Amino acid sequence: MRTSKRESILQRAIELIEAEGLEAISYESLAEASGMSKSGIIYHFPSRDAILRALHEYMAANWEAELIAAAGGPAHEVSQARRLRAMVISLTRPATKAELLLEIDARSHPEFDEYWLEVERRWSPDIEGIEDDDLRQQAYLVQLLADGLWLHDYVHTPALSEEQRAVLSQRILEMIPDDA
């Protein structure tokens, strides 16, 4: 299937973020990176805000597609244990700079954050009542371990090797309660 111009622009934007950070996103930089004219970018995204909104939506949708593939179906069709397992599997690989910067950016913009929260509501363990529920505590600790594995290479040196990451992710998967 052929990539649309809109999707191609978003992919170039992700590459720019990887190389230079969120500040690098401009009509000029996207036109140069995509080989399109500035007016062509504006046609698809009438403002920088529209570009960022589309990036958050696109990245969150890609993450959910990854979760669905790992779980073997949409969140509403699989058990909480399979949703948690999919979450761990998706967080086994290290975060990309673009993912991390967009996640951080989203927390400052509620309208952007909503794209990520929609995915999290479907897939992450519920923290409501966690104070008095051992099973929820265990499931959420698994989530936190997976989050830490995903972030590790940005907050610790040296980075984990693929073998180390695989061993640690397997141990995290073993901690998932059967009836999570």
Alpha carbons 64 and 60: distance in angstroms, whole number: 6
Alpha carbons 99 and 105: distance in angstroms, whole number: 10
Beta-carbon contacts of 67 under 8 Å, excluding residues fewer than 6 positions away, are 75, 83, 86, 87, 90, 119, 123
Q: Are 88 and 155 found together in one domain? A: yes
> In this structure, what CATH number is given to the domain that contains residue 13?
1.10.10.60
Give residue 164's domain range.
55-174
The pLDDT value given to residue 156: 96
Amino acid in position 35: G
Q: Are 67 and 121 found together in one domain? A: yes
pTM of the model: 0.93
Torsion of CA 37, 39, 42, 44, to 10 degrees: -70
Domain boundary residue, one of 26, 46, 66 = 46
Helix (H, G, I), strand (E, B) or coil at 121: helix
The pLDDT value given to residue 177: 84
The pLDDT value given to residue 178: 80
The pLDDT value given to residue 3: 75
> In this structure, what CATH number is given to the domain that contains residue 151?
1.10.357.10
Q: What are the mean pLDDT values of the chain's consecutive 10-residue runs (180 residues total)? A: 87 98 96 95 96 98 98 97 97 96 96 98 94 95 97 96 97 88
Q: Are 9 and 96 found together in one domain? A: no
The pLDDT value given to residue 1: 61
